[in-house]
Chains A and B, each alone.
Chain A
Amino acid sequence: SQQGEEDPQALSIQEGENATMNCSYKTSINNLQWYRQNSGRGLVHLILIRSNEREKHSGRLRVTLDTSKKSSSLLITASRAADTASYFCATVFSGTYKYIFGTGTRLKVLA
Protein backbone atom coordinates (compact mmCIF):
# COMPACT_ATOMS: atom_id res chain seq x y z
CA SER A 1 0.00 0.00 0.00
CA GLN A 2 1.15 3.50 -0.68
CA GLN A 3 2.40 5.60 2.15
CA GLY A 4 1.24 9.02 1.05
CA GLU A 5 -2.22 10.03 0.00
CA GLU A 6 -2.74 13.40 -1.65
CA ASP A 7 -5.87 15.45 -1.36
CA PRO A 8 -7.59 16.64 -3.45
CA GLN A 9 -7.11 14.25 -6.36
CA ALA A 10 -7.75 17.08 -8.80
CA LEU A 11 -7.82 20.85 -8.49
CA SER A 12 -8.73 23.52 -11.01
CA ILE A 13 -8.04 27.21 -10.30
CA GLN A 14 -7.67 30.52 -12.11
CA GLU A 15 -4.28 31.99 -12.87
CA GLY A 16 -3.13 34.20 -10.00
CA GLU A 17 -4.95 32.20 -7.33
CA ASN A 18 -3.21 30.10 -4.71
CA ALA A 19 -3.24 26.30 -4.89
CA THR A 20 -3.07 24.11 -1.81
CA MET A 21 -2.66 20.37 -1.83
CA ASN A 22 -2.27 18.03 1.09
CA CYS A 23 -0.46 14.80 1.79
CA SER A 24 -1.14 12.38 4.61
CA TYR A 25 1.06 9.46 5.56
CA LYS A 26 0.82 6.50 7.88
CA THR A 27 4.08 5.90 9.74
CA SER A 28 7.07 7.81 11.08
CA ILE A 29 9.18 9.42 8.42
CA ASN A 30 12.70 10.77 7.99
CA ASN A 31 11.71 13.42 5.50
CA LEU A 32 8.99 14.29 3.03
CA GLN A 33 9.48 15.57 -0.48
CA TRP A 34 7.26 17.12 -3.12
CA TYR A 35 7.62 16.52 -6.85
CA ARG A 36 6.00 17.88 -9.99
CA GLN A 37 5.25 15.86 -13.11
CA ASN A 38 4.29 17.47 -16.36
CA SER A 39 2.21 15.30 -18.63
CA GLY A 40 4.22 12.42 -20.06
CA ARG A 41 7.47 13.49 -18.44
CA GLY A 42 9.63 12.38 -15.54
CA LEU A 43 9.20 13.83 -12.08
CA VAL A 44 11.04 16.94 -10.95
CA HIS A 45 12.06 17.46 -7.34
CA LEU A 46 10.58 20.61 -5.79
CA ILE A 47 11.37 20.68 -2.09
CA LEU A 48 12.46 18.47 0.82
CA ILE A 49 11.37 19.00 4.41
CA ARG A 50 12.91 17.04 7.26
CA SER A 51 10.92 15.52 10.10
CA ASN A 52 12.26 18.13 12.55
CA GLU A 53 11.21 21.05 10.33
CA ARG A 54 7.76 22.62 10.31
CA GLU A 55 7.86 24.93 7.31
CA LYS A 56 10.00 25.52 4.27
CA HIS A 57 9.90 27.98 1.40
CA SER A 58 11.24 27.91 -2.12
CA GLY A 59 10.21 30.74 -4.41
CA ARG A 60 6.41 30.58 -4.75
CA LEU A 61 6.27 27.27 -2.91
CA ARG A 62 5.56 26.84 0.78
CA VAL A 63 5.59 23.43 2.42
CA THR A 64 4.43 22.66 5.94
CA LEU A 65 4.85 19.47 7.90
CA ASP A 66 2.83 18.39 10.95
CA THR A 67 4.29 15.16 12.25
CA SER A 68 1.67 14.89 15.01
CA LYS A 69 -1.06 14.74 12.34
CA LYS A 70 1.15 12.88 9.86
CA SER A 71 0.39 15.40 7.18
CA SER A 72 2.03 17.94 4.90
CA SER A 73 0.74 20.66 2.64
CA LEU A 74 2.12 22.31 -0.48
CA LEU A 75 1.03 25.85 -1.24
CA ILE A 76 1.72 27.39 -4.64
CA THR A 77 1.14 31.12 -4.53
CA ALA A 78 0.13 33.29 -7.49
CA SER A 79 -0.25 30.28 -9.74
CA ARG A 80 0.56 30.38 -13.44
CA ALA A 81 -0.62 28.29 -16.38
CA ALA A 82 2.85 26.71 -16.39
CA ASP A 83 2.13 25.26 -12.94
CA THR A 84 -0.38 22.89 -14.54
CA ALA A 85 0.96 19.45 -13.63
CA SER A 86 0.56 16.57 -11.22
CA TYR A 87 2.10 16.98 -7.80
CA PHE A 88 3.27 14.09 -5.66
CA CYS A 89 4.49 13.75 -2.13
CA ALA A 90 7.06 11.10 -1.27
CA THR A 91 8.16 9.82 2.10
CA VAL A 92 10.87 7.61 3.50
CA PHE A 93 9.83 5.26 6.27
CA SER A 94 11.98 5.77 9.36
CA GLY A 95 14.67 3.10 9.49
CA THR A 96 14.35 2.15 5.82
CA TYR A 97 15.56 3.33 2.46
CA LYS A 98 12.21 2.88 0.74
CA TYR A 99 11.01 6.02 -0.95
CA ILE A 100 7.21 5.74 -1.35
CA PHE A 101 5.10 8.08 -3.46
CA GLY A 102 1.51 9.11 -3.03
CA THR A 103 -1.16 9.01 -5.70
CA GLY A 104 -0.79 12.67 -6.65
CA THR A 105 -2.89 15.79 -7.13
CA ARG A 106 -3.65 16.94 -10.68
CA LEU A 107 -3.54 20.72 -10.79
CA LYS A 108 -4.96 22.69 -13.68
CA VAL A 109 -4.37 26.43 -13.80
CA LEU A 110 -6.68 28.25 -16.18
CA ALA A 111 -5.38 31.31 -17.99
Chain B
Amino acid sequence: NAGVTQTPKFQVLKTGQSMTLQCAQDMNHEYMSWYRQDPGMGLRLIHYSVGAGITDQGEVPNGYNVSRSTTEDFPLRLLSAAPSQTSVYFCASSYSIGNYGYTFGSGTRLTVV
Protein backbone atom coordinates (compact mmCIF):
# COMPACT_ATOMS: atom_id res chain seq x y z
CA ASN B 1 0.00 0.00 0.00
CA ALA B 2 2.00 2.97 -1.31
CA GLY B 3 -0.52 5.76 -0.50
CA VAL B 4 -0.17 8.80 -2.76
CA THR B 5 2.79 8.72 -5.12
CA GLN B 6 4.02 11.84 -6.88
CA THR B 7 6.60 11.95 -9.63
CA PRO B 8 9.00 13.53 -10.24
CA LYS B 9 10.27 14.81 -6.88
CA PHE B 10 12.26 17.62 -8.48
CA GLN B 11 12.02 19.29 -11.88
CA VAL B 12 13.60 22.28 -13.58
CA LEU B 13 11.82 23.70 -16.61
CA LYS B 14 12.57 26.49 -18.99
CA THR B 15 9.97 29.19 -19.52
CA GLY B 16 7.48 28.06 -22.13
CA GLN B 17 8.05 24.34 -21.72
CA SER B 18 5.20 22.03 -20.83
CA MET B 19 5.20 19.04 -18.54
CA THR B 20 2.97 16.72 -16.57
CA LEU B 21 3.22 16.10 -12.85
CA GLN B 22 2.06 12.60 -12.04
CA CYS B 23 -0.07 11.58 -9.07
CA ALA B 24 -1.31 8.09 -8.31
CA GLN B 25 -3.07 6.59 -5.30
CA ASP B 26 -3.82 2.97 -4.50
CA MET B 27 -6.41 3.50 -1.76
CA ASN B 28 -9.51 3.65 -4.01
CA HIS B 29 -10.10 7.26 -2.99
CA GLU B 30 -12.69 9.12 -5.01
CA TYR B 31 -11.57 12.63 -4.10
CA MET B 32 -8.24 13.98 -5.34
CA SER B 33 -6.75 17.46 -5.42
CA TRP B 34 -3.69 19.40 -6.49
CA TYR B 35 -2.23 22.20 -4.39
CA ARG B 36 0.71 24.51 -4.74
CA GLN B 37 2.64 25.79 -1.76
CA ASP B 38 4.58 29.02 -1.88
CA PRO B 39 6.45 30.58 1.06
CA GLY B 40 4.08 32.45 3.35
CA MET B 41 1.03 31.56 1.23
CA GLY B 42 -0.01 28.24 2.69
CA LEU B 43 -1.53 25.76 0.22
CA ARG B 44 -3.65 26.96 -2.65
CA LEU B 45 -6.06 24.68 -4.46
CA ILE B 46 -5.40 24.36 -8.19
CA HIS B 47 -7.86 21.68 -9.37
CA TYR B 48 -9.79 18.89 -7.76
CA SER B 49 -11.79 15.83 -8.74
CA VAL B 50 -14.67 14.07 -6.99
CA GLY B 51 -14.39 10.95 -9.11
CA ALA B 52 -13.27 9.52 -12.44
CA GLY B 53 -14.35 11.78 -15.28
CA ILE B 54 -15.19 14.73 -13.01
CA THR B 55 -12.86 17.67 -12.42
CA ASP B 56 -13.31 21.26 -11.32
CA GLN B 57 -11.28 24.40 -10.77
CA GLY B 58 -9.90 25.51 -7.45
CA GLU B 59 -8.50 28.89 -6.36
CA VAL B 60 -5.64 29.20 -8.84
CA PRO B 61 -6.40 27.09 -11.95
CA ASN B 62 -4.91 29.33 -14.66
CA GLY B 63 -2.02 27.74 -16.54
CA TYR B 64 -2.87 24.21 -15.40
CA ASN B 65 -4.99 21.39 -16.81
CA VAL B 66 -6.10 18.15 -15.20
CA SER B 67 -7.90 14.99 -16.23
CA ARG B 68 -9.22 12.01 -14.29
CA SER B 69 -9.63 9.04 -16.58
CA THR B 70 -9.21 6.51 -13.75
CA THR B 71 -9.84 6.54 -10.01
CA GLU B 72 -6.14 6.00 -9.35
CA ASP B 73 -4.48 8.72 -11.44
CA PHE B 74 -4.81 12.49 -11.43
CA PRO B 75 -2.08 14.15 -13.55
CA LEU B 76 -1.47 17.90 -13.53
CA ARG B 77 -0.32 19.49 -16.78
CA LEU B 78 1.52 22.76 -17.01
CA LEU B 79 0.70 24.13 -20.43
CA SER B 80 3.45 26.74 -20.86
CA ALA B 81 5.62 27.08 -17.79
CA ALA B 82 6.22 30.52 -16.31
CA PRO B 83 8.55 31.60 -13.47
CA SER B 84 5.43 32.35 -11.38
CA GLN B 85 4.72 28.61 -11.37
CA THR B 86 7.89 27.91 -9.42
CA SER B 87 6.51 26.21 -6.34
CA VAL B 88 6.10 22.97 -4.46
CA TYR B 89 3.16 20.97 -5.76
CA PHE B 90 1.23 18.53 -3.60
CA CYS B 91 -1.31 15.95 -4.64
CA ALA B 92 -3.77 14.68 -2.05
CA SER B 93 -6.60 12.17 -1.93
CA SER B 94 -9.45 11.33 0.41
CA TYR B 95 -12.00 8.54 0.71
CA SER B 96 -14.74 11.00 1.61
CA ILE B 97 -14.37 14.75 1.92
CA GLY B 98 -16.98 14.97 4.64
CA ASN B 99 -15.67 12.32 6.97
CA TYR B 100 -12.00 11.66 6.30
CA GLY B 101 -8.84 13.67 6.03
CA TYR B 102 -6.51 13.93 3.12
CA THR B 103 -3.56 11.69 2.45
CA PHE B 104 -0.80 13.79 0.91
CA GLY B 105 1.96 12.88 -1.46
CA SER B 106 5.52 13.94 -0.71
CA GLY B 107 5.45 16.77 -3.23
CA THR B 108 7.15 17.89 -6.44
CA ARG B 109 9.54 20.82 -6.23
CA LEU B 110 9.32 22.69 -9.53
CA THR B 111 11.62 25.49 -10.64
CA VAL B 112 10.91 27.45 -13.81
CA VAL B 113 13.85 29.43 -15.14
Contact = CB atoms under 8 A, between A and B. Distances in A.
Contact of B40 (A98, A100, A103): A103
B98 interface: yes
B12 to A, nearest CB: 18
B45 A42 contact: no
A43 to B, nearest CB: 5
B35 interface: yes
B44 A35 contact: no
Contacts of A43: 43, 90, 92, 102, 104
A44 B45 contact: no
A100 B41 CA distance: 12
Interface string A86-111: 00101010000111111110000000
A49 to B, nearest CB: 11
A31 B106 CA distance: 24
Contacts of B31: 97
Contact of B97 (A42, A45, A88, A97): A97
Contact of A97 (B48, B59, B92): B48
Interface of B: 4, 31, 33, 35, 40-45, 48, 50, 56, 58-59, 90, 92, 97-107
Q: Closest 3 A-B residue pairs measured CB to CB?
A: A45-B101, A42-B104, A103-B42
